């Protein structure tokens, strides 16, 4: 409650400030739209997606696996598992027990040995990722590996149970033969449950080994077995993103070098991918998530495939030999950097090489003989200082020597200004870096004030990738941050400035992307979900409106000859879509009163109709939630009279005008 009041007060004071800045005089705006070419193209990559496995974005989220710790690989091998009828030592001995066996020669090292005694139906339970989400009417593939060791365990029964322990679907399998065998069953729950459990019950007496106990919906994105959660991918698809950056984020760097993201360990057979603790497991003491690991079921092959499905350019980011500088800041010595560079070169071959190359062959065997045609690669995530520049130079030289056409993304650190930022930019410019990644997590006020940030950037220097940004309603990494309308509106205002500078800014992405309602560490986030449903935030709709209406060429919109970057609380940018024969104007009004705008065309003739899309909400603290998306775009058709547009722009709104 306290938090809500605080956000509300911030929202009121911000609007009051904006309002008083113009002494309460709401003027009618007369804007000039110049149809003449600016010779500035909007790059197809202008609006993209930043994906990181934070907030249960991959395991527990996009990767549709429903069993947590399916092969007992977590540090605590029984995380997520319970032995419900073995609560006391005596009952444990009575019905059976479980031990973990470790085979260090394997990447999937652990498996469970289950000893069942006295015909007492020993059972095991898995809790899923904060519960198992099940939809009535859908089928679920259950698979597990069993090795029959001794005695006579005749059957294994797999049951899905609701929150009260009632069985809502169940299947039994006869255990037979020797050696490891894969068993398969299909379960069809009789109810929709957000937090179900899986129970495994053993019949008979004896000893078996068990591993890779897995449950997937059949209804995944494109119906792929072991695939991705459909509603979540659909939300990404609807953004029409220009690129997909993966796998992060700080997760690329790791808390230590040993815990960095190593793409080679994430390809090949899913059951052989070595699990790793997730960097965000204990990232914040206020949101500890001890049950957060990476199964890498969503690995580099799947990321490339996802990018392809979305029609987005794949943009992998790799470790440059520096662990997260907010954590250990562990550094690889320059003389030991080679394996890291080799990883980058091999990745390009994995993505783009023909099937007769070493890594291209692996991609091909995984089911994608055609190259992925990757064009970008990131060297390091959010590094700063001399150590970074020194390492970047070596990567750049090696990558461009072998692959001169690959565009390299370099980084300017975690802040949009300050000593490290200035140093990074200065050095990267000297090195003729191609695209520099900038990150800004800041207040809504900062976003409103910075719509002109790129107006004075050097046009002959590197291009900018606004790779991570989001307005923070309370403060950076504050758990009370909300995806409020105020944050979304301020991002929209700022984005007109990104678009207006499309000759410098060629790639942009909001961050982070996903958050599980019960498993998050970082807020705000673009898309929220629970085990059954997902919803789009107002920030998502801002991204979607810009991305779906990015056009192909920048044109000029001005008031009294000046760009609209916040004076009188008005922001605007305009593009042409030469393929669709459309003009698209984006206007953001951060005034708490409606305003009226007249648009005078120059060197251009408007048709007689236009589409007006409005995104607004009456309260700046308003949010969407899983039950209702009250803040979403509304579309209407309006007539254009006498070749001039006269349009009302509601208080605190983003309006898109599309004119043929
Ligand atoms: O988006 C969350 C984190 O913010 C990213 O992992 C990191 O790059 C940045 O500090």
Tell me the three-class secondary structure of 76-88, residue by residue: CCCCCEECCCCCC
Inform me whether the pLDDT recorded for 11 exceeds 80.
no
Pick the CATH number of 81-217 from 1.10.1060.10, 2.102.10.10, 2.60.120.260, 2.40.50.70: 2.60.120.260
Q: Do 2-43+554-659 and 81-217 share a fold? A: no
Phi-psi region of 581 (alpha: psi -120 to 50; beta: other; left: phi over 0): left
522 lines ligand 1 (CB under 6 A): yes
Q: Which atom of ligand 1 is nearest to the CA of 468?
A: 1
Nearest alpha carbon, ligand 1 atom 1: 512
The radius of gyration of the chain from alpha carbons, rounded to an integer in Å, stands at: 27
382 lines ligand 1 (CB under 6 A): yes
Residues 121 and 208: their CA atoms lie apart, in Å, by: 14
Mean pLDDT of 51-71: 98
pLDDT tens per residue, range 171-186:
999 998 889 999 999 9
pLDDT at 606: 93
pLDDT at 95: 83
SS3 390: helix
pLDDT at 371: 98
pLDDT at 120: 79
Nearest alpha carbon, ligand 1 atom 8: 249
| Of 83-97, 335-349, 396-410, 523-537, the least confident | 83-97
414 lines ligand 1 (CB under 6 A): yes
Mean pLDDT of 47-54: 98
Residues 530 and 517: their CA atoms lie apart, in Å, by: 5
Angle between helices 338-352 and 300-310 (to 10 degrees): 40
Mean pLDDT of 82-106: 78
| Position 490 confidence tier, pLDDT thresholds 50, 70, 90 | very high
Nearest alpha carbon, ligand 1 atom 5: 249
Which helix (H) or strand (E) is 584 found in, with range? strand 582-589
Q: What is the Å distance from ligand 1's center to 499 Cα?
A: 23
**DSSP character for 376?**
E
Catalytic residue among 253, 271, 302, 382: 382
512 lines ligand 1 (CB under 6 A): yes
SS3 475: coil
248 lines ligand 1 (CB under 6 A): yes
Q: Is the peptide bond before 512 cis (omega within 30 degrees of 0)?
A: yes
Q: What is the Å distance from ligand 1's center to 362 Cα?
A: 31
End-to-end CA separation in angstroms for the chain: 47
Q: Is 194 a catalytic residue?
A: no
Closest listed residue to residue 302, CA positions, set 249, 266, 274:
266
313 lines ligand 1 (CB under 6 A): no
8 Å CB contact between 590 and 489:
yes
SS3 490: helix
- Residue spans of the domains in the chain: they are 2-43+554-659, 81-217
Mean pLDDT of 475-480: 96
Mean pLDDT of 400-423: 98
Residues 571 and 12: their CA atoms lie apart, in Å, by: 20
CATH code for the part of the protein at 2-43+554-659? 2.60.40.1180
Q: What is the Å distance from ligand 1's center to 257 Cα?
A: 17
The DSSP string of 181-227 is EEEEEEE--SS-EEEEEEEEEEEEEEEEEEEEEEEEES-BGGG-TT-
pLDDT at 340: 98
pLDDT at 118: 74
8 Å CB contact between 65 and 531:
no
């Amino acid at each position: 409650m306290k938090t809500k009041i605080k956000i509300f007060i911030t929202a009121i004071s911000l609007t009051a400030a904006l309002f008083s800045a113009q002494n309460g005089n709401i003027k009618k705006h007369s804007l000039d739209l110049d149809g003449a070419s600016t010779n500035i193209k909007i790059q197809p990559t202008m609006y993209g997606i930043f994906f990181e496995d934070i907030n249960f974005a991959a395991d527990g989220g996009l990767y549709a696996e429903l069993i947590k710790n399916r092969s007992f690989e977590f540090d605590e091998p029984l995380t997520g598992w319970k032995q419900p009828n073995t609560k006391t030592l005596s009952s444990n001995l009575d019905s059976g027990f479980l031990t973990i066996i470790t085979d260090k020669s394997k990447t999937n090292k652990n498996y469970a040995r289950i000893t069942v005694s006295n015909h007492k139906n020993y059972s095991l339970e898995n809790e899923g990722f904060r519960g198992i989400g099940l939809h009535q009417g859908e089928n679920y593939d259950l698979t597990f590996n069993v090795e029959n060791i001794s005695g006579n365990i005749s059957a294994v029964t797999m049951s899905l149970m609701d929150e009260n322990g009632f069985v809502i679907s169940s299947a039994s399998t006869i255990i037979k033969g020797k050696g490891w065998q894969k068993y398969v069953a299909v379960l069809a729950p009789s109810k929709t449950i957000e937090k179900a459990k899986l129970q495994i019950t053993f019949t008979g007496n004896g000893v078996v080994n068990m591993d890779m106990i897995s449950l997937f919906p059949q209804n995944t994105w494109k119906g792929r077995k072991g695939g991705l959660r459909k509603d979540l991918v659909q939300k990404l698809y609807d953004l029409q993103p220009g690129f997909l950056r993966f796998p992060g984020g700080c997760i690329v760097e790791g808390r230590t070098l040993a815990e960095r993201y190593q793409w080679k360990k994430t390809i090949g057979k899913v059951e052989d991918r070595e699990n790793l603790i997730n960097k965000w497991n204990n990232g914040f003491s206020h949101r500890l998530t001890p049950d957060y690991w990476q199964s890498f079921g969503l690995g580099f092959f799947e990321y490339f495939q996802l990018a392809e499905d979305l029609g987005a350019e794949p943009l992998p980011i790799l470790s440059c030999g520096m662990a997260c500088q907010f954590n250990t800041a562990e550094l690889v010595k320059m003389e030991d950097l080679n394996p890291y560079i080799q990883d980058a070169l091999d990745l390009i071959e994995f993505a783009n090489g023909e099937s007769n190359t070493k890594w291209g062959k692996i991609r091909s065997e995984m089911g994608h003989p055609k190259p992925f045609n990757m064009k970008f690669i990131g060297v390091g995530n959010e590094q700063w200082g001399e150590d970074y520049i020194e390492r970047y130079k070596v990567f750049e030289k090696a990558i461009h020597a072998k692959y001169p056409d690959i565009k390299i993304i370099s980084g300017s650190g975690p802040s949009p200004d300050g000593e490290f930022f200035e140093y990074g930019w200065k050095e990267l410019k000297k090195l003729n870096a191609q695209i520099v990644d900038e990150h800004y997590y800041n207040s809504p006020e900062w976003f409103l004030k910075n719509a002109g940030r790129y107006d004075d950037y050097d046009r002959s220097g590197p291009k900018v990738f606004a790779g991570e940004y989001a307005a923070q309603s309370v403060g950076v990494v504050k758990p009370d941050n909300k995806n409020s309308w105020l944050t979304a509106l301020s991002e929209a205002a700022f984005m007109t400035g990104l678009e207006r500078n499309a000759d410098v800014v060629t790639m942009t992405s909001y961050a982070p992307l996903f958050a599980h309602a019960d498993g998050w560490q970082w807020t705000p986030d673009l898309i929220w979900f629970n085990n059954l449903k997902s919803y789009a935030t107002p920030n998502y709709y801002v991204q979607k409106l810009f991305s779906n209406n990015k056009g192909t060429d920048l044109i000029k919109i001005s008031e009294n000859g000046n760009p609209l970057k916040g004076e009188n609380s008005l922001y605007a940018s305009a593009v042409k879509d030469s393929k669709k024969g459309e003009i698209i104007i984006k206007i953001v009004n951060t005034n708490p009163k409606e305003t009226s705008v007249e648009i005078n065309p120059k060197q251009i003739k408007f048709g007689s109709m236009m589409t007006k899309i409005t995104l607004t909400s009456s309260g700046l603290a308003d949010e969407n939630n899983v039950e209702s998306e009250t803040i979403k775009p509304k579309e209407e058709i309006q007539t254009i009279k006498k070749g001039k547009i006269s349009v009302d722009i509601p208080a605190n709104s983003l309006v898109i005008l599309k004119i043929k």
